[in-house]
Amino acid sequence: MKIGFIGTGVMGTGIINNLLKSDHQVTVYNRTAAKAEPVIANGAVWADTPAEVAQAADITFTMVGYPKDVEDVWTRKDGLFSGAKTGHILVDMTTSTPKLAEKLAQRGKNLGFKVLDAPVSGGDIGAKNGTLSIMVGGDEAVFDQVLPILKDVGQQIVHAGSAGKGQHMKMSNNIGVAATVITMAESMVYAKAAGLNMDDAYNVWRHGAAGSWSVTNYMPRVMAGDFSAGFYAKHLLKDLRIALDAANEMAIDLPGTKLAEKLFAQLSENHADEGVQAIVKLWSAFQ
């Protein structure tokens, strides 16, 4: 399959490498060309613009940083919409806003394209290992067309409903991510203050009722002093703000999410480009 992929960051790189391993022809573009070098070394082909990516592919994926970046690579003069052919499938894997997903789906339909929103969960580990959870919004028939490719990069793949529903599903998921990361951090702070053995605490938590993906995957990184980003703190902050905006539109109150937004805003003042596990740095014991 001829696949286009825009965005060769932490997540995109892992996904592209798995597509290449599955013998797809992958054409890529990234705003910073140097960040595409690892996947090009593995067999991906560079294109100079998003439009050229679409011209070389039958299905094109995007995974960029923020909603404004999504809108830019899709709608600018040399963007996806200008290079795609009638019937082309366009899939945004960025965690973005439900409203933008709906807007792009409608515009794509008007132009003769098929559009899905398909944000993912699983971090850099899931992207590297091909074990992502993928939440898809859009027409179910188009979902069925793309499903074999999604299986090359993910394990848990859900059709969440119409356009924008994939993003809503991801917001629901990331509300939980924020909560588990924060409770992991507080548990570690308490254990350290009490003089507990952290390896023992880790094994108790991950095998007991306090277990979570965050405990299993992030706690060892904290213990090793590894705060590199598998999931950027600044990106979780962005997601929490999207979730709170959507919650406001739906007239629901999410007090825990408001607290998480406040804490990650504080963290992002100095640690925006570190991983979400850096939340422990809000406590002096881990500074």
Q: Which residues are marked as active site? A: 170
Rg for the chain (alpha carbons), in Å?
A: 19
Q: Looking up tokens 């690892």, which residue turns up?
A: 38
Give yes or no for a contact between 2 and 25, defined as CB atoms under 8 angstroms apart: yes
Residue type, 145: Q
Polymer length of the chain: 287
Nearest to 117 by CA among 151, 94, 140, 133: 94
Beta strands in 63-117 (DSSP E): 89-92, 114-117
CA–CA separation, 158 and 219 (whole Å):
28
CA–CA separation, 207 and 215 (whole Å):
10
Give Cβ neighbours of residue 226 (< 8 Å, ≥ 6 apart).
277
Residue type, 22: S
